[in-house]
Structures are given as C-alpha cells and as structure tokens.
Homo-oligomer: A and B are copies of this chain.
C-alpha cells in the first residue's frame, strides 16, 4: 500500500508561502512555510495528509495520454508550486458514478483541460476523503517553472469556471516558491 503524502504548514520547510487564499469556505491557519513529504513536522501549525490512489474517472483512452506525459515532480526548474486542498459537497458524493463522470468530463472537460497543461505543470493528486477525520477530500499539488505561472493561473481559471466546481464547497490555495 502506498505511503502517505504529508504536508506540514508552519515556520519551517523548503517551500515559502507567497500567497494563501480561502477560495471557498473556511481557510486554514496562515503559515510562512510548507514541508511536503516525510513525517508530520513536530510543532507544525497544521498537517494535512493523504495517499496516492487509483484513477476514479479517467477512461482508457485518456489514461494513454496521461501515461505518455508522466508528471515528474522535483524538476529543478519547477521552483513554484501550489497546494490546493478541496472538499466537494454531499450532493456530489451522493451522485452515481456515471452522473459524476458526466459532470466532470462531459460537461466540465476536467481531464481534457488538465491534459493541455501536462508538459508545463507537474501535478499530484492526494486522496484523503476515506481517512477518518479528514476535512478535505483531496490535496492537489502542482509544480511549475516561474515562467509557466501564467499557464497555471489559466488552468485554475478554466477549472473553476466549470459545472464541476459548483460542487466544490471548500477550497484553499497556497502559492509557494522553493527556498532550498
């Protein structure tokens, strides 16, 4: 079984928080630095963790595109990042699988939109919904070179304008730059 992916927010860490925004619903306590990976940092202001998991909506044809453009984390040039924890509504989770797929892809083009940015933006989807006590469903993580921050902004704007985002009831955004 995969190891948990841990995000510790506080005064220490290789990522400096340049902007922290409560996009929807409650934010999280303000922090200066973020550590990604390893064990929870003692004395952290908050710790969010989850696990990588299987694909939930991606079909075989879409998976071939993803597999052909693997997301490489830790690229030396990717000195900007974003952590965006998200919780969707009870109404979303009460939908049947095919109904969620219709909203996510047929109506919102989530996978198609994301595919357009694979080469610029590395991403990792961390699942925490099925962990007792979790307050978010997903912790989404993105890394990109400074020159691609505009592309990343564009990706976020497109996704947030979709019908799928109508089901997002809590979303927090931390923008980060690498300091070590």
Chain A residues in the interface with B (C-beta under 8 A)? 1, 3-4, 49-51, 53-60, 62-63, 93-94, 96-99, 101, 127-135
A169 to B106, CA, bound (A): 34
Given the interface contacts A1-B135, A135-B1, does A55 sit within 8 Å of B130 by beta carbon?
no
Given the interface contacts A60-B98, A99-B60, does A134 sit within 8 Å of B1 by beta carbon?
yes
A130 to B97, CA, bound (A): 18
- This chain's copy number in the assembly: 2
List 11 A-B pairs, Cβ < 8 Å: A1-B129, A1-B132, A51-B131, A57-B97, A58-B96, A59-B97, A59-B98, A60-B96, A62-B96, A97-B97, A130-B130
A127 to B132, CA, bound (A): 11
A36 to B94, CA, bound (A): 25
Tell me if B130 and A50 are in contact (CB < 8 A). yes
Distance in Å: Cβ of A105 to nearest Cβ of chain B: 10
A131 to B50, CA, bound (A): 8
Distance in Å: Cβ of A91 to nearest Cβ of chain B: 11
Distance in Å: Cβ of A123 to nearest Cβ of chain B: 18
Tell me if B57 and A133 are in contact (CB < 8 A). no
Distance in Å: Cβ of A8 to nearest Cβ of chain B: 15
A174 to B98, CA, bound (A): 33
Distance in Å: Cβ of A90 to nearest Cβ of chain B: 10
Tell me if B58 and A97 are in contact (CB < 8 A). yes
Distance in Å: Cβ of A125 to nearest Cβ of chain B: 12
Distance in Å: Cβ of A173 to nearest Cβ of chain B: 21
Q: Which residue in B96, B132, B135 is a CB contact (below 8 Å) of A4? A: B132
